[in-house]
Structure 1
């Protein structure tokens, strides 16, 4: 087992992953696609449809040029929670050889399209989420911030593609191993945060980066009522707002993790309060920023958190 932090582990499942031991390799591999590739060159290529470009980037890292990948949501400003699928989306999902989605009610439109299609090969990331002792009750559905789950998704994609395209099975497996090495590089950053700044207090506008904070060993002091209200598009109570503001004005937290994709008057005001108090801002998003692949994105997120706590 490879330790990510003091509370989570990164499981090694296969012998071919011995390259994991070389930490420096994480920067040596480049992922070439962020959510969509052209399948015009060969109609025999397996087709993968993903709910968002986050999972599109993961799928593309495994597919390479041997399979085509299409993401239904690629707009950096889109909110998957409220996305309404179109008839074209439904047709695209129905025609796909493999469907990769987040699950856990996050991208519910995919689950509605898949309803009744029991024979369709799928990868549900939420179902691959390992037990998390830091979470009580319902687990956090933003699983793309959980490195262990993303690793499991990548390997399951490789396994499913191997069934669809047996001649390239080894290639898919090798790409999954390479991708795991890159994920290990991200885990090293969060692990160093946990070692250097144990239990550092932070606040969030929404519980988007929950698993990044868990792996980094920091403590989210934000009232759950506040986070849940913002995530659901509701107005938090005056008491929840006041308590959250006090965390910033009194400098009880060292950073504010801020979702820039779902800003409203409440969160914008909170950011101004944090900036006035000298509390560092760590910007996060729910979908892949333009021009970045998954590894680059999550590396930047982890580095931004480390910088803010320094």
Structure 2
């Protein structure tokens, strides 16, 4: 978190304009537009009653990687007081819209925070045992699915509060207090994750896609998924017969303790892998890229962590 804190101002400065350039809705209310309902929930927790928050992608069937903004989506982004998004190419449609307006729209993206907090060469070898040190937010690689990284999400809450304070100084204290409450809730999630690491660290798992990368990393679980299989599944292509056979064998031979399964991008390959896991008695942990209806981020990430923690216990 110290590394993220030092990067926070720089990351926001790249995408946000000064407060005297900020714009609001026609009625003067502060408006926040988020790329997905995950980041909309984080922004809503910080904004509270002092700003409206709208998420462009809420439907589970929508894929942010390939989503194309409609004219109304583009208008919402360009007219927002603040834009909150993932970055890293995950929700490229936001960058495409922002790129047409230069730095005129205040915006903050999570990937910039994660990227700037990644390992330096000196820090990369500091952790013993070959693990990345999540508590110090040092990662050996960057994955764009950063909403599964509680340290980055906490830093995003701080960044959102900072931006809203500049746009709406009268409610700056409320934004800061809300962000503090949200970070305290994230600390409770970290306690759940730490308990997994303590009880089942190094338990071997496989996953259909690398979206829960940071959650798995923080729980100290051993991801044995063949890299070729992960790449193919994430890119929407068929894995090679060899990569598929290797992955199926890991599950079929009960060499793993759980299968992490993205229910929002299922295909014949992933469904076959799930069927193999269920036949072998391997627990399946379902993860998603957007929030279910009427669920906030804290509730959702807590449930994901708890489900991940139960899996090795029941295998």
Give the TM-score normalised by the residue count of structure 2: 0.84
Which aligned pairs between 1:117-128 and structure 2 lie closer than 5 A? Answer: 117-128=102-113
1:131 aligns with 2:118: yes
Which aligned pairs between 1:1-310 and structure 2 lie closer than 5 A? Answer: 43-115=27-99, 116-129=101-114, 130-131=117-118, 133=124, 134=132, 136=140, 139-310=142-313
Looking at structure 1, the residues matched to 157 and 150 of structure 2 have their Cα atoms a distance apart, in angstroms, of 11
Q: Helix, strand or coil for the counterpart of 1:123?
A: strand
Looking at structure 1, the residues matched to 234 and 54 of structure 2 have their Cα atoms a distance apart, in angstroms, of 27
1:59 Cα deviation from its structure 2 partner: 0.2
Taking structure 1 as reference, are residues 104 and 186 closer, same or farther at Cα in structure 2, changes over 3 Å only? Answer: same
Looking at structure 1, the residues matched to 208 and 198 of structure 2 have their Cα atoms a distance apart, in angstroms, of 25
| Structure 1 gaps, min length 5 | 3-8, 14-38
Q: Helix, strand or coil for the counterpart of 2:50?
A: coil
Taking structure 1 as reference, are residues 293 and 202 closer, same or farther at Cα in structure 2, changes over 3 Å only? Answer: same
Looking at structure 1, the residues matched to 225 and 207 of structure 2 have their Cα atoms a distance apart, in angstroms, of 6
1:289 Cα deviation from its structure 2 partner: 1.2
Q: Helix, strand or coil for the counterpart of 1:278?
A: coil
Looking at structure 2, the residues matched to 291 and 219 of structure 1 have their Cα atoms a distance apart, in angstroms, of 33
Aligned 8 A contact 2:277 2:284 in 1: yes
Give the TM-score normalised by the residue count of structure 1: 0.85
Looking at structure 2, the residues matched to 259 and 10 of structure 1 have their Cα atoms a distance apart, in angstroms, of 28
| Structure 2 gaps, min length 5 | 8-23, 125-131, 133-138
Q: Helix, strand or coil for the counterpart of 1:68?
A: strand
Looking at structure 1, the residues matched to 163 and 294 of structure 2 have their Cα atoms a distance apart, in angstroms, of 27
Looking at structure 2, the residues matched to 300 and 10 of structure 1 have their Cα atoms a distance apart, in angstroms, of 25
For these two proteins, the number of residue pairs brought into alignment is: 277
1:117 Cα deviation from its structure 2 partner: 2.3
Runs of 4+ deviating beyond 6 Å: 9-13
Aligned 8 A contact 2:201 2:221 in 1: yes
1:12 Cα deviation from its structure 2 partner: 11
What's the CA shift string for 1:77-103, capped at 9, x where partnerless?
Answer: 221111111111111100001000100
1:121 Cα deviation from its structure 2 partner: 0.8
Looking at structure 2, the residues matched to 271 and 304 of structure 1 have their Cα atoms a distance apart, in angstroms, of 16
Taking structure 1 as reference, are residues 11 and 309 closer, same or farther at Cα in structure 2, changes over 3 Å only? Answer: farther
Looking at structure 1, the residues matched to 95 and 5 of structure 2 have their Cα atoms a distance apart, in angstroms, of 28
